[in-house]
Amino acid sequence: MRSSIRGCGLFFFWGALLSPAVSTPEPFRFVVIGDSGAASRGQQQVAGRMWDWLKLHPFNLVLMLGDNIYGGTEMTGGGSPRRFPTEFDRYYKRFEDHGVEFRAVLGNHDMQTANGRYEIEDRKRFGMTGALGYYKFSSPVKFNVEGRALVDFFAFDSEIHGSPMADQIDWLKSALKQSSALWKVVYMHRPLYTPKGRHGPDLSLRKAIEQPLKDNGVQLVLAGHNHFYGRMKPIGHIEYLVSGGGGRNLYRSQPDDCTEKTRSEFHFLALEVYPDKIHLWAIGGDGKVFDEATIDPAFLASPAKDCMAR
């Protein structure tokens, strides 16, 4: 069943920009995985369905939402380069050979070995261009003759603390303010909003960055950490998605008044970006679409009914 998310143009004067003369023959496509590096049957299934999707809907970008490389236990070995061949190459090298680029952020398990340094330094696999794990990049698709990026992506490291975190927040505020992209997508490991599950929302991080996200026109925030799928009702003109079903053991989830859809299932997200909308699909390890939505400006301007942000 298709749901429609129609969003707002508080920051971009959408009506003037999206005139009938403007058209995008092909959307910009990318996919998203989170909590994936488990060397598990679930990771194998999701990677297989991603490969099937690539053949029908060509994409050349994968966002990784952290916990890219798990350890032998919950407490040790995450982020170790010794595990890159078995928890990354085994499933994703064929994508890289096909020209697909991976762009990751760090998760808490990635920090278990040298604070994630080996993943940050391995740009071929993980694509983290920032020395501390946070960075910005743009889609290659430009909007009309203005040369504006269709999408700017802001990779945020939710795992650092103290003065490095303060510096990162200053960077994020500045980078968002300078961006003229039609769509601004922020992604990180720990969610600011999530359906009820094993992990709650990161309230301190929400307090620190939610207002800058609102003030600078961010429309979509992606996170992992909870090992399930969760699509929230738009909160403060922003759509929040949790995608932590990339391969690690699943968690149970419970919807609440801020949740539009949640499901405990191995999955990936596929997104198509147009100037006036983003269409997304949540696709399970069995290859079936279990959620589908369209993000466009009108809905994001409207308050989510019955949602009291926690």
Asked whether residue 19 is domain-assigned, the answer is: no
- Structural domain count, the chain: 1
pLDDT at position 301 is 83
Q: Residue ranges of the chain with pLDDT lower than 50?
A: 1-24, 145
Asked whether residue 308 is domain-assigned, the answer is: no
Asked whether residue 209 is domain-assigned, the answer is: yes
DSSP collapsed to 3 states, the chain: CCEEECCCCCCCCHHHHCCCCCCCCCCEEEEEECCCCCCCHHHHHHHHHHHHHHHHCCCCEEEECCCCCCCCCCCCCCCCHHHHHHHHHHHHHHHHHCCCEEEECCCCHHHHCHHHHHHHHCHHHHCCCCCCCCEEEECCCEEHHHCEECEEEEECCCCCCHHHHHHHHHHHHHHHHHCCCCEEEEECCCCCCCCECCCCCCHHHHHHHHHHHHHCCCCEEEECCCCCEEEECCECCEEEEEECCCCCCCCCCECCCCEEEEECCCEEEEEEECCCCEEEEEEECCCCEEEEEEECHHHHCCCCCCCCCC
Asked whether residue 136 is domain-assigned, the answer is: yes
Q: What is the pLDDT of residues 247-285, one digit of tens each?
A: 999 999 988 889 999 999 999 999 999 999 999 999 999
pLDDT at position 163 is 97
Asked whether residue 14 is domain-assigned, the answer is: no
pLDDT at position 230 is 97
Asked whether residue 263 is domain-assigned, the answer is: yes
Asked whether residue 190 is domain-assigned, the answer is: yes
Which residues constitute the domain of residue 181? 3-9+27-300
Asked whether residue 241 is domain-assigned, the answer is: yes
In CATH, what number is assigned to the domain containing residue 129?
Answer: 3.60.21.10
